[in-house]
Amino acid sequence: MANWFVNDAPKLIILLLWLGVNTFLFGHTFFLYEQEEAYIYTRALLGSALAWSRASAMCLNLNCLLILLPISRNLISFLRGSCSVHTISSKQCCRSNMRRQLDKNVRFHQLVAYMIILHTVIHVIAHLFNIERYHTSYSPAAKDLLIRLSSIGKNTSESYLNPIRTYDTNPMKELLNSTAGVTGIIITVAFVLMVTSSTRVIMESFYEVFWFTHHLFIVFFIGLIIHGSGRIVRGQTPQSLQDHNVTYCKDHYEEWGDIPECPLPQFAGNEPVTWKWILGPIVLYICERLIRFCRSLQKVVITKVIVHPSRVLELQMKKHGFKMKSGQYILLHCPSISRFEWHPFTLTSASEEDHFSIHMRALGDWTSALFEACGANLRGFREAWKMPRVAVDGPFGTACIDIFYYKVSVMIATGIGVTPFASVLKSIWYKCSQPTMTLKVERVYFYWICRDTHSFEWFADLLYSLEIQLMEKGKRHFLSYHIFLTGWDEYQAAHIALHYEENKDVITGLKQKTFYGRPNWNKEFKRIADHHPGTNIGVFFCGPKDLSSVLHTMCNNYSSADPRGVQFHYNKENI
C-alpha cells in the first residue's frame, strides 16, 4: 500500500486548514446577516441574497489577503532559510516537510485565485439580486412594508435604507451611478483578464500578455479598497435599535414617527474593512518591489557568452556582492528588450565559482530577442561593451537547495530542465576537488531524459569532468547517472549499434552508456530502495507535469509504511 503520509499529509493539512477557515468565515458571516436584529428590515428588502453577498465578501477579504504572500519571493526565501536543516533524519522530517510546502507557493497562489473566482461569482450574482430587489420594492405590487422602508430618507433629516430612490429608473443605471457598482465592475474585469491570461497556452506562447495583464492587480487592489466606501449594504444603528423596537414596530409601520414607541428607524452603512485585511500584504509586496528596484540599479557585467546547440545560450555574469547557493534562481531584466519584464532563470553555476551563469533556450519573443542582442546569431568575437545592459534580482531559493541535506539524493530532469542540476553537479565537482571539504550527501542518482542528441552536447562536458574527478578521488560510485534518449532515426540507430562495444558512449563520450527509450520507474525506484534501506531519500524533479505526477506516485508507492524504513521525499522544481 502506498505510503502517502511522507509527501501528501503536510499538503493535505494545509489545504484542509485553509478550506476550514474559508468555511468558518462564510458560515459565521452568513448566519450573522440571517439572524442579526440590526438587519431585519434589510432582509425584508433583500431576502437571503444579503447573507450570500456578505458571506462571500468576507471570504474574498481572506483570500485577497493571501493571494500576494505566495509570490513574495523574498518572504519565501526568508522562510526557507529559517526552516533550514543540515541533515535529514526522522526527527527533522517535520521541518523538512515545511520547507517542501514552501516550494508549492505558486500552486497555492493558483488555488487562492480559484477560491477568489468562486466567491466573486457568488458575490456578483447576490448583488445583482440585491439591486433588483431594491428596485422592485418601489413596484405597485410590492408589500406595503417594503414601500414604507424604501420611502425612508426622502427628507434630509432621515437616513435611508434603499439606495435607489424611485421605481422610474433602470437598475443598471443606478449601478453605474454608485461607487460600489463602478469599482465592482472594474475589479471584476481586471480579475477576469488576469485569470484568462494565466492559462498555460498564453504563458508559454505569449508570456508578455500574461506579464502585463497580471499587473492589473494594482487596479484590482485599488478598486478593492474603494469598493466598500459606498456602504451600499445598510443596517439599523445601535441607538435606533434601542429606540425602535423592531419586533413590535415591524407590524405597525403605518404609525412610524407618529407614536413614541416607533420612531423612524435610522440606518447606516457598514464600515469598510477590506483595507484592514489587505494592507499588510500590500505593504509587504511594495517592499518586495522596492528591493527589486534597488537590485536593478546594481551593475551587472556579462563576462562571457557561449552558444550551445539547439539555440541554448549561456550567459556568465558578475555582480558586486552577489552570493548564491547551488540550485537557486534569479530574475533577469533587459531594459533594451522590455522596460518592465522580468524572467526567471535557474542558475547553472556553482557557488564556488567567481561568476554566476544561466542557460536559456531561445524559444519565445523575449528569449529570442536576448539571444540576438548578445550577438549569439553572429560569428566571431564581440566586445563586452556591446553587450546589452541587464539587471538581476535574487537569488531565490528552490527545492534543489535541499539536495545536499539528504544522504541519498535522486535528481531527475527532462530536456532543458537539467539546468538546476547543472549547478548542483558543478558544486559537487568543486567540493570533490578540495581535500578538506566534506559532503553530507553520500550517493547521488542522476536521470536525464532528452528527445534528441543535440540536447546532450552542452552538458556532456560537465559530466565528463565530474566523472574523471570522482574516479581520481576513488568515488566512482558516488554519482550514478543515467541518460535516456527518446528520439533517434535509423542512421543514428545503426551508428550506435556499430560502436556499442566501445569503452565510451558514442553519443556523450562518457563511460556510462546512453539508454534508449524511457526509464522503467518501478524498476529504478525498487533498485534504489533495495540499496538504501532505512534511509530518507530526496527525489528532485524538473520537467513536465505528467511525469511529475508519475514520480510523485512512485515516491509514495516505494516509501515504507514503517517510519524506520526507506522514505522517498518528493520535491518538484517550481520557479
Please state whether the peptide bond connecting residue 263 to the residue before it is cis, i.e. omega within 30 degrees of 0. no
Question: 483 φ, ψ to 5°?
Answer: -105, 130
What average pLDDT does the chain have? 81
pLDDT at position 116: 95
Q: What is the pLDDT of residue 446?
A: 86
Position 6 scores a pLDDT of 67
Which DSSP category does 198 fall into?
T
Query: In whole angstroms, what is the distance from residue 314 CA to residue 327 CA?
Result: 16
Whether residues 483 and 404 fall in one domain: yes
- Name the grid cell of 294: 534597488
Cα separation, 166 vs 139, whole angstroms: 9
Same domain, 355 and 497: no
In contact, 311 and 362? CB cutoff 8 Å: yes
Per the model's pLDDT, the better-predicted residue between 455 and 474 turns out to be 474
End residue of a domain, out of 345, 375, 396: 396
Does 286 map to a domain?
no
CATH number of domain containing 492: 3.40.50.80
Contact present, 159 and 153 (Cβ < 8 Å):
yes
Q: How confident is the model at residue 188, as a pLDDT?
A: 93
For the cut 90, the answer to whether the pLDDT of residue 295 exceeds it is no
Would you say residue 454 lies in a domain? yes
Return d(Cα 368, Cα 305) in angstroms, integer.
15
What percentage of the chain reaches a pLDDT higher than 90? 18
Regarding whether 146 and 34 lie in a shared domain, the answer is: yes
Residues 328 and 201 in one domain: no
Q: What is the DSSP string of 45-68?
A: HHTTHHHHHHHHHHHHHHHHHHTT
Sign, CA dihedral 114-115-116-118, equals positive
Higher pLDDT pick, 141 / 503: 141
Classify the C-alpha dihedral 350-351-354-358 as positive or negative.
positive
Average of pLDDT values for 57-71? 93
Q: Which of 253, 280, 307 is the endpoint of a domain?
A: 280
User: What's residue 91's pLDDT?
Assistant: 43
- Cβ-proximal residues to 254 (8 Å cutoff; 6+ apart), any chain: 144, 148
Q: What is the pLDDT of residue 88?
A: 47
84 pLDDT tier (thresholds 50, 70, 90): low
Are residues 373 and 265 located together in one domain of the fold?
no
Q: 387: which 3 cell numbers?
A: 553587450
For the chain, how many structural domains are there in total?
A: 3
Question: Is pLDDT larger for residue 225 or for residue 560?
Answer: 225
pLDDT band per the 50, 70, 90 thresholds, residue 89: very low
pLDDT tens digits for 310-319?
778 888 899 8
Angle 57-209-391 (CA atoms, 0-180°, nearest 5)? 105
Best CA proximity match to 454, nearest among 307, 296, 300, 272? 307
DSSP string, 138-173: TSTTS-HHHHHHHHTTSSTTS--S-S---SSS-HHH
User: Angle 337-207-106 (CA atoms, 0-180°, nearest 5)?
Assistant: 120
Say whether both 262 and 406 belong to one domain.
no
Mean pLDDT of the region 278-307:
87
- pLDDT on residue 3: 60
Average pLDDT over residues 455-461: 63
Report the residue count for the chain: 575
Percent over 70 (pLDDT), the chain: 84
**Residue 258 grid cell:** 407618529
312 with 243, same domain? no
Q: Given a cut of 80, is residue 5 above it in pLDDT?
A: no
* Rounded distance between C-alpha atoms, residue 543 and residue 551, angstroms: 11
* Res 505: pLDDT: 57
188 and 336 in a single domain? The answer is no
Q: Which of 292, 337, 334 is nearest to 317 (CA)?
A: 334
Domain boundary (280, 315, 340) is at 280
- 478 or 571, which is more confident: 571
More confident residue, 253 or 574: 253
- DSSP string of 78-119, one letter each residue: HHHHHT--SS--GGGHHHHHHHHHHTTHHHHHHHHHHHHHHH
According to the model, what pLDDT value does residue 147 have?
83
> Which position has the higher pLDDT, 245 or 82?
245
Task: State the pLDDT confidence band at 501, using cuts at 50, 70 and 90.
Answer: low
Tell me: the pLDDT tens digits for 11-52? 888 899 999 999 999 999 999 999 998 899 899 888 899 999
**Better-scored residue on pLDDT, 377 or 489:** 377
293 within domain boundaries: no
Cα-based distances in Å from 460 to 376, 448, 467, 509, 566: 21, 11, 10, 8, 32
Give the pLDDT band (50/70/90) at residue 185: very high
132 with 26, same domain: the answer is yes
Taking a C-beta distance cutoff of 8 angstroms, is the pair 41, 161 a contact?
Answer: yes
Residue 3 domain flag: no
Asked if residue 391 and residue 305 are part of one domain, the reply reads yes
Check whether residue 18 and residue 120 sit in a common domain.
yes
- What is residue 261's predicted lDDT score, i.e. its pLDDT? 83
Q: How many CB atoms lie within 10 A of CB 91?
A: 7
pLDDT at position 434 over 60: yes
- pLDDT, tens digit (0-9, with 9 covering 90-100), for 381-417: 667 667 888 888 888 877 777 787 888 889 898 877 7
Calculate the alpha carbon distances from 382 to 308, 315, 361, 390 in Å: 16, 14, 20, 17
Phi, psi of 438 (to 5 degrees): -110, 145
Report pLDDT for 328.
84
Lowest mean pLDDT among 164-173, 208-217, 370-379: 164-173
The answer on 222 and 134 residing in a single domain is yes
Residue 342 pLDDT: 83
The answer as to whether 429 is a domain residue is yes
- Strand pairing partners for 449? 414, 484
Residue span of the structural domain in which 105 resides: 9-280
Q: Is the pLDDT of residue 445 over 70?
A: yes
**147 vs 65, higher pLDDT:** 65
- pLDDT tens digit string along 103-159? 788 889 999 999 999 999 999 999 999 888 888 888 777 778 888 888 887 776 678
Comparing 84-93, 219-228, 359-368, 471-480, which segment has the lowest mean pLDDT?
A: 84-93
- Is the residue at 189 inside a domain? yes
What value does the mean pLDDT take over residues 175-189? 88
292 within a domain of the structure (yes/no) = no
Tell me the mean pLDDT in the region 294-321.
84
| Identity of the residue numbered 193 | L
Whether residue 38 lies inside any domain: the answer is yes
Give the CATH number of the domain where residue 323 resides. 2.40.30.10
| pLDDT-derived band at 511, boundaries 50, 70, 90 | low
pLDDT at 222: 93
At 429 the pLDDT is 73
